[in-house]
Amino acid sequence: MNYRNLHAWDVSATRAVEIQKELRSLIELTPLTDVELVAGADLAFPDAKHGVAAIVVLNISTMRVVEQVIVHETVNFPYVPGLLAFREGPVFLKAWQQLRVLPDVVMFDGQGIAHPRRLGIASHMGLFLDLPTIGVAKSHLYGSFIEPPNVQGSYTFLYDNNEVIGAVVRTKVGNKPLFVSPGHKCDVLSALKLTLRCCTKHRLPEPTRLAHELTQKYKHVGLFG
DNA sequence: GCGACAG
DNA sequence: ATCTTGTCGC
């Protein structure tokens, strides 16, 4: 699977929804194995027409940064709940091209299969990259659940009728839980396990948290700094 | 018709 | 996401 064969980004919202329906069957929910390099991606928007994307790669054993890249690009697609990949995907992929190492899995700031059409940004990008991906959202989009206990590491499952599509995880006491769901080539438990392993001392997992940190600095320095 | 709605 | 100061809590 290569992203060049999937579709173009410059499409209407209606077409975007059709594309998601066409791609959902391609998602593979297989267990995650032999993970060493974990990447985290995040986006920021300095103004209405530009987006900044950062990717930070960590060695899961040492939790040290192996590589990080950051790029900026003009954005056209507006933010529409359910169509996040069409707004952030292009900038993310530009950053991805700058990466020298190949991560074993990528964590995104958004949903995986916990999406109306099972194609959150993590799932969509997973197909483009043909790599395992995980969606780690800071808030709810789709699925039913009960609030997990206010205890570090506790979690409940996210359901779509009787199907488990993700987990609601309390990574930090007193804070809102995270909505974790597999994107591609990963299953719910693998996504849950890796996410908890990356949440060392903050609510967000290190990969995504560090990428966000980078993106914010870059945004304040300016597009040319 | 009404409420929900990743970033 | 972004605009923004002080402020409550561990």
DSSP string, A63-110: TEEEEEEEEEEE--SPP-TT-HHHHHHHHHHHHHHH--S--SEEEESS
| Gap between the Cα atoms of A223 and A75, Å rounded | 14
Q: Are A183 and A108 in contact (CB under 8 A)?
A: yes
| Gap between the Cα atoms of A172 and A89, Å rounded | 29
Domain membership of residue A144 (yes or no) is yes
CA atoms within a 13 Å half-sphere pointing along the CA-CB vector of A96: 22
* Domains held by chain A: number: 1
Q: Strand C footprint at Cβ < 7 Å?
A: A 43-46, 79, 109, 138, 174, 212, 215-216, 219
Domain membership of residue A82 (yes or no) is yes
Domain membership of residue A2 (yes or no) is no
Domain membership of residue A83 (yes or no) is yes
**CA A46 → C1' C3, Å?**
12
Domain membership of residue A224 (yes or no) is no
Lowest mean pLDDT among A7-16, A32-41, A71-80: A7-16
Q: At what angle do helices A13-23 and A121-129 cross, to 10 degrees?
A: 60
Sheet architecture: strand order including A155-160: A64-74, A50-59, A37-47, A105-108, A133-137, A178-184, A163-169, A155-160
**CA A142 → C1' B2, Å?**
18
Q: Are A125 and A89 in contact (CB under 8 A)?
A: yes
- Domain extent at residue A149: 13-219
Annotated binding residues of A? 42, 109
Sign of CA dihedral A132, A182, A194, A94: positive
The answer on pLDDT for A212 being more than 90 is: yes
Tell me, what CATH number does A110's domain have?
3.30.2170.10
Of the pLDDT bands very low, low, confident and very high (cuts 50, 70, 90), residue A225 is low
Which nucleotide shows the minimum CA-to-C1' distance to residue A173? C10
Residue with tokens 């986006």: A43
Of the pLDDT bands very low, low, confident and very high (cuts 50, 70, 90), residue A223 is low
| Gap between the Cα atoms of A101 and A70, Å rounded | 14
Domain membership of residue A3 (yes or no) is no
Q: Are strands A133-137 and A178-184 parallel, antiparallel or unpaired?
A: antiparallel
Domain membership of residue A225 (yes or no) is no
Q: What is the DSSP string of A39-64?
A: EEEEEEEEETTEEEEEEEEEETTTTE
Of the pLDDT bands very low, low, confident and very high (cuts 50, 70, 90), residue A220 is confident
The answer on pLDDT for A1 being more than 60 is: no
Q: Could you identify the residue whose CA is nearest to the C1' atom of nucleotide C2?
A: A45
Annotated binding residues of A for Mg(2+)? 42, 109
- Nearest partner of A27 among A111, A146, A144, A99, judged by Cα: A111
| Gap between the Cα atoms of A187 and A130, Å rounded | 15
**CA A146 → C1' C9, Å?**
25
Q: Strand B footprint at Cβ < 7 Å?
A: A 42-43, 45, 79, 81-85, 109-111, 115, 120-122, 135, 137-141
Other Cβ atoms less than 10 A from the Cβ of A140: the count is 15
A80-139 residue pLDDT tens? 999 999 999 999 999 999 999 999 999 999 999 999 999 999 999 999 999 999 999 999
Mean per-residue pLDDT of chain A? 95
Q: Could you identify the residue whose CA is nearest to the C1' atom of nucleotide C10?
A: A174
Domain membership of residue A208 (yes or no) is yes
pTM of the model: 0.96
A179-210 residue pLDDT tens? 999 999 999 999 999 999 999 999 999 999 99
